[in-house]
């Protein structure tokens, strides 16, 4: 038998991945670096003068009021809907669960377009709060319903056998277990309220984000816009800190082994049909109103509104950006995803939080950071496709990372070892085992990123090269000219592009509970 | 003829030594079980032999071929060593036939016949060839994993706690079937386990690991009855430890005079007895003890005995047949079968 060659293992893959993930993390730190840089550059005096203004106080009050008027009702509605669809015998529960998630397919600024064009005098805080609840409720409903389904009924039985009344069981056993889901979903909604531009601009409700973009578009007033961005980032940090405090540090894991039995559904009795009113009312507001408005404008516009040459061009541009953004974001997140599954350590956890934090940053901050950096350091890159794609990558990196991690986790190292012990060399193992198993997860991650790009408005408005027309920016331009009929087909196309994502998110939420 | 020789294998992870100068020779066709508590380095040893990890020092030689010499190693995919992981590690995207044929050459003649042979070998129904792994029970998955590894006619087979994921009832039958298959194939096998019963019944050579060191290796009977220290003794079963005085022939303790190999030692020492060495009788011989507790286990009972001698209480447990057992609280005579084992001065 010929002697086998002996080699030292150099762990080249691991080192390369660490290097690449480090590079991606550095890029992801750019917006944070930008905030720090402008804070130092502007100086204490000027910063204070720019921030300590009645206008900023007004914006802060608006933002705070918006959070207070939106979050509590959204949380209550999410709890009620989750209980009805997961734990009661309401007829058609699984269909109504889909119906509750479906508004995710309607971009927030399309939702507010639907309301404003139906009720032209619909403005201010009540309007903002109503549309926000309708647009963002699914972000709370999904995790709460998932957790509600996962609750171990044995805990409730145990509480009952310890002499607790049904009402006290809900209070002392069920609600505490939903705390993490409520906090997580609430944080997501709260951050969206801070970051959203289109929704609030359309119904003329001023928030930090709308103010920053107004400032930027009217005067290119760098320091003023940058300072507002700084306050916005602080607000986000405050929200995250608040969530961290409310979430507490307890673990709510199930103790003991084995899968929990599915919880029994509560009989509603004569309330069975009246209970339908809640999900149906919300669906008619969140889905019915957009459907009504869109079909009205489509009929008013007739065939002509579909035959605009710009529509096809915008669709093509959007698809191009979506594909580029998806490829770039997945490529950027791949090394980190690999490391966090295959080589978890303190260092990789730090790198991972560098990858994840931009998800909490408003798009406008990422965009401002890239504007400032390109204008000052790399002017040839200002308003180029590359910069827009970089913005998409930064904003959607966390989304790509989550999907990729799930994909790579489908290929535990034991399977690669099994392939090696069966005589496959590393390259053939990659082709025969790793790729076929990880592909669905990678594809899902790409789809989620692509669909995020397809309806992105804020960063695209600020960063895209002059004359770039995506579905979102073209829709925005048309509604700004009050040409609601011409805008309708763009809205329809964006909704169609978002539908698969909605289905994917709903399916993922279901799957995690079955796992 | 010796087939696998491990010598001086060491590997550290940071400050902990996973392997500390481990040397072991494995004969052709034999079945070796490596036992040890978790963290004893037994799985690391298996991974080093398989080629998934490189040792810091030491060599792995199989049939005269050097597979590892310190950190320089031959790649796992060229070693012709089969590996069966804890949960089988079947490829979830391939059916049973795809898994079994994974290691075969693509142009292997008679592929279908080979697959048929393999599935017969592990006593599974050929209809299962078209099933996906998730449609198999845990025991069936393990048998497919074994057949998949055997397909390449490996020179050495490594089993990493192959039965630990199975239910207790299933475990024994799968273990017996796997042992049968391996014997039929005549392949040299190393199995890692933390289950002493599994190790004792599977192996014709037993190796005990602790803290990265190989503390004892030998025939299972030898290691069970003549362990090098009390930790090894307790790893393989229960033990009763008593103080004793070494006599000219044997030792004397609360149980009277017992046979023992003293190896020229004298003075006081500690001795070890297995609980199944005790005989209880109502008529003697032996000193008397009171039955304090009886733990009924079906065919056998664990009987806790209290013996008072010179005002000092001694408690120990005996494993005796449960038929004709004296009553709880009654006094019985205790005698000892076979010899006591003298523990090392420090043991």
Rounded distance between C-alpha atoms, residue A223 and residue A216, angstroms: 10
A418 vs B66, B74, B83: nearest CB = B83
Contacts of B79 in chain A (CB under 8 A): 4, 421
pLDDT at B347 over 50: no
Q: How many CA atoms lie within 13 A of B138 on its CB side?
A: 17
Question: How do B72-73 and A7-8 pair as beta strands?
Answer: antiparallel
Rounded distance between C-alpha atoms, residue A337 and residue A348, angstroms: 10
Rounded distance between C-alpha atoms, residue A248 and residue A212, angstroms: 34
Q: CA A90, A94, A99: angle at the middle one, nearest 5? A: 100
CATH number of this structure's domain B2-235, picked from the four choices 2.60.40.1730, 3.40.50.720, 3.40.50.10540, 3.40.50.300: 3.40.50.300
Bridge partners (DSSP) of residue B192 are B34, B160
Rounded distance between C-alpha atoms, residue B171 and residue A432, angstroms: 31
Q: Are B52 and A11 in contact (CB under 8 A)?
A: no
Rounded distance between C-alpha atoms, residue B338 and residue B341, angstroms: 10
Mean pLDDT of A423-449: 89
Mean pLDDT of A409-420: 90
Rounded distance between C-alpha atoms, residue B11 and residue B71, angstroms: 10
Distance, first Cα to last Cα, chain A: 48
Within 8 A by CB and 6+ apart from A350, the residues are none
Mean pLDDT of A349-378: 88
Nearest to A358 by CA among A384, A333, A339: A333
Cβ of B85 within 8 Å of Cβ of A3? The answer is no
Rounded distance between C-alpha atoms, residue B74 and residue B80, angstroms: 11
Tally Cβ neighbours within 10 Å of residue A363.
25
Cβ of B85 within 8 Å of Cβ of A414? The answer is yes
Contacts of A412 in chain B (CB under 8 A): 89
pLDDT in tens, B296-309: 988 889 999 999 88
- Is there a cis peptide before residue B285, judged by omega within 30 degrees of 0? yes
Rounded distance between C-alpha atoms, residue A266 and residue A280, angstroms: 20
> In this structure, what DSSP letter does residue A287 have?
I
Q: Tell me whether A4 touches chain B (CB under 8 Å).
A: yes
Query: Phi, psi at residue B191, to the nearest 5°?
Result: -120, 135
Mean pLDDT of B92-116: 88
Looking at every residue in chain A, the average pLDDT score rounds to 87
Rounded distance between C-alpha atoms, residue B322 and residue B280, angstroms: 11
Q: Are A89 and A266 in contact (CB under 8 A)?
A: yes
Residue B38: strand, helix, or coil? coil
Query: Residues of B numbered 87-106 whose beta carbons fall under 8 angstroms of chain A's beta carbons: which are they?
Result: 87, 89-93, 102-103
Mean pLDDT of B304-322: 90
Mean pLDDT of A197-212: 92
Percent of chain A with pLDDT over 70: 95
Task: Chain B: give the shortest CA distance to residue A164, in Å.
Answer: 37
Query: Phi, psi at residue A260, to the nearest 5°?
Result: -70, 150
E strand residue ranges, A190-344: none
- For residue A240, name the pLDDT band (cuts at 50, 70, 90): confident
CA pseudo-torsion sign A23, A24, A25, A27: positive
Q: Tell me whether B74 touches chain A (CB under 8 Å).
A: yes
Question: What is the predicted pLDDT for the residue at A252?
Answer: 58
Q: Tell me whether A8 touches chain B (CB under 8 Å).
A: yes
B74 vs A4, A432, A436: nearest CB = A4
> In this structure, what DSSP letter does residue B346 have?
-
pLDDT in tens, A158-196: 888 888 888 888 888 888 888 888 998 999 999 999 999
Percent of chain A with pLDDT over 90: 41
CA pseudo-torsion sign B186, B188, B193, B198: positive
Tally Cβ neighbours within 10 Å of residue B135.
12
Contacts of A4 in chain B (CB under 8 A): 65-67, 74-75, 78-79
- For residue B57, name the pLDDT band (cuts at 50, 70, 90): very high
pLDDT at A155 over 90: no
User: ipTM of the predicted structure?
Assistant: 0.82
Longest dimension (CA), chain A: 88
Looking at every residue in chain B, the average pLDDT score rounds to 89
Task: Tell me, rounded to whole angstroms, the distance of Cα A85 from its chain centroid.
Answer: 23
Q: How many helices (H) and strands (E) does chain A have?
A: 25, 1
pLDDT at A386 over 50: yes
pLDDT in tens, B130-185: 999 989 988 899 989 999 999 988 999 999 988 887 777 778 888 888 888 888 88
pLDDT at A322 over 90: yes
Length of chain A (residues): 515
Query: Residues of A numbered 414-473 whose beta carbons fall under 8 angstroms of chain B's beta carbons: which are they?
Result: 414-415, 417-426, 429, 432-433, 436-437
Question: What is the predicted pLDDT for the residue at B18?
Answer: 92
pLDDT in tens, B22-56: 999 999 889 999 999 888 999 999 999 999 999 99
pLDDT in tens, A251-300: 555 555 445 566 778 888 888 889 899 999 999 999 999 999 999 998 98
Domain boundaries, chain B: 2-235, 238-342
Buried b (16+ CB within 10 A) or exposed e, A381-391: ebbeeebbbbb
Mean pLDDT of A354-373: 89
Mean pLDDT of A247-252: 65
Catalogue all structural domains in chain A, each as residue range(s) with its CATH number: 17-30+308-480 (1.10.3720.10), 53-250+272-307 (1.10.3720.10)
Rounded distance between C-alpha atoms, residue B246 and residue B264, angstroms: 9
Rounded distance between C-alpha atoms, residue A185 and residue A192, angstroms: 11
CATH 2.40.50.140 for domain B238-342: yes
- Secondary structure element (H or E) that encloses residue B332, with its range: strand B331-336
Max avg pLDDT among A5-19, A98-112, A165-179, B252-266: A98-112
Nearest to A389 by CA among A320, A336, A335: A320
């Amino acid at each position: 038998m010929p002697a086998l060659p002996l080699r030292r293992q150099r762990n080249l893959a691991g080192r390369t991945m660490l290097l690449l993930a480090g590079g991606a993390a550095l890029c992801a730190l750019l917006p944070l670096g930008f905030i720090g840089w402008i804070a130092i550059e502007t100086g204490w005096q000027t910063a204070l003068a720019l921030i300590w203004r009645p206008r900023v106080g007004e914006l802060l009050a608006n933002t705070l009021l918006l959070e207070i008027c939106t979050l509590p009702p959204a949380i209550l509605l999410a709890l009620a809907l989750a209980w009805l669809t997961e734990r009661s015998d309401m007829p058609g529960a699984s269909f109504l669960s889909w119906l509750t998630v479906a508004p995710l397919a309607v971009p927030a600024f399309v939702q507010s377009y639907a309301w404003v064009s139906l009720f032209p005098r619909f403005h201010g805080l009540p309007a903002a709060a109503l549309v926000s609840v309708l647009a963002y409720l699914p972000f709370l409903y999904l995790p709460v319903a998932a957790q509600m389904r996962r609750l171990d009924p044995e805990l409730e039985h145990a509480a009952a056998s310890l002499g607790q009344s049904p009402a006290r069981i809900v209070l002392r056993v069920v609600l505490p277990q939903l705390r993490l889901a409520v906090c997580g979903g609430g944080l997501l909604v709260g951050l969206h309220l801070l970051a959203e531009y289109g929704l609030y601009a359309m119904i003329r409700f001023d928030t930090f984000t709308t103010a920053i973009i107004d400032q930027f578009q009217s005067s290119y007033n760098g320091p003023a816009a940058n300072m507002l961005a700084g306050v916005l980032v602080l607000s986000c940090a405050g929200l995250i800190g608040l969530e961290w405090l409310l979430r507490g540090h307890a673990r709510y894991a199930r103790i003991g082994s084995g899968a929990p039995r599915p919880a029994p559904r509560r009989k509603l009795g004569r309330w069975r049909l009246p209970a339908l009113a809640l999900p149906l009312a919300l669906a008619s507001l969140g889905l019915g109103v957009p459907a009504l408005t869109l079909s009205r404008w489509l009929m008013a516009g007739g065939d002509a509104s579909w035959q605009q040459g710009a529509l096809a061009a915008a669709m093509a541009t959007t698809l191009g950006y979506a594909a580029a953004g998806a490829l770039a974001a997945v490529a950027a997140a791949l090394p980190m995803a690999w490391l966090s599954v295959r080589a978890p350590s303190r260092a990789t956890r730090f790198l991972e939080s560098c990858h994840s934090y931009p998800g909490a940053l408003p798009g406008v901050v990422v965009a401002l950071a890239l504007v400032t950096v390109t204008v000052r350091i790399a002017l040839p890159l200002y308003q180029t496709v590359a910069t827009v794609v970089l913005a998409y990558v930064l904003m959607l990196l966390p989304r790509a990372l989550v999907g990729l991690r799930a994909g790579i986790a489908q290929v535990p190292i034991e399977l690669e070892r099994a392939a090696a012990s069966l005589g496959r060399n590393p390259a053939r193992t990659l082709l025969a085992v790793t790729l076929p198993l990880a592909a669905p997860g990678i594809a899902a991650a790409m789809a989620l990123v692509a669909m995020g790009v397809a309806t992105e408005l804020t960063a695209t408005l600020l960063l895209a090269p002059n004359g770039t027309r995506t579905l979102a920016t073209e829709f925005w331009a048309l509604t700004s000219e009050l040409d609601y009929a011409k805008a309708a087909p763009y809205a329809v196309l964006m909704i169609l592009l978002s539908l698969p994502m909605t289905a994917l998110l709903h399916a993922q939420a279901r799957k995690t509970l079955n796992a | 003829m010796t087939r696998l020789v491990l010598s001086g294998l060491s590997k550290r992870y940071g400050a902990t030594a996973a392997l500390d100068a481990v040397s072991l020779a494995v004969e052709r066709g034999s079945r070796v079980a490596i036992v040890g508590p978790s963290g004893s380095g037994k799985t690391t040893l298996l991974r080093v032999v398989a080629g998934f990890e490189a040792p810091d020092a030491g060599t792995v030689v199989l049939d005269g071929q050097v597979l590892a010499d310190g950190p320089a190693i031959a790649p796992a995919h060229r070693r012709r060593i089969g590996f069966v992981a804890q949960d089988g590690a079947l490829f979830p995207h391939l059916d049973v036939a795809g898994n079994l044929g994974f290691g075969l050459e693509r142009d292997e003649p008679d592929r279908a016949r080979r697959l048929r042979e393999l599935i017969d070998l592990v006593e599974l129904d050929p209809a299962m060839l078209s099933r996906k792994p998730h449609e198999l029970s845990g025991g069936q998955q393990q048998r497919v994993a074994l057949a998949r590894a055997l397909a390449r006619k490996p020179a050495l087979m490594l089993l990493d706690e192959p039965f630990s994921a199975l239910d207790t009832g299933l475990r024994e039958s799968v273990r017996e079937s796997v042992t049968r298959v391996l014997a039929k194939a005549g392949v040299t096998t190393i199995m890692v386990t933390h289950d002493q019963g599994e190790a004792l019944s599977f192996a014709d050579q037993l190796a005990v690991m602790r803290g990265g060191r190989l503390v004892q290796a030998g025939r299972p009977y030898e290691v069970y009855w003549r362990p090098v220290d009390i930790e090894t003794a307790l790893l393989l079963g229960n033990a009763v430890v008593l103080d004793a005085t070494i006599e000219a022939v044997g030792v004397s303790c609360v149980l009277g005079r017992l046979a023992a190999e003293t190896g020229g030692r004298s003075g006081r020492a500690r001795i070890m007895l297995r609980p199944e060495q005790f005989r209880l009788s109502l008529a003697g011989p032996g000193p008397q003890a009171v039955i304090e507790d009886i733990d009924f286990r079906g065919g056998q009972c664990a009987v806790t005995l209290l013996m008072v001698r010179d005002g000092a209480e001694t408690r120990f447990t005996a494993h005796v047949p449960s038929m004709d057992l004296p009553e709880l609280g009654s006094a019985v005579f205790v005698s000892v079968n076979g010899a006591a084992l003298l523990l090392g001065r420090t043991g």
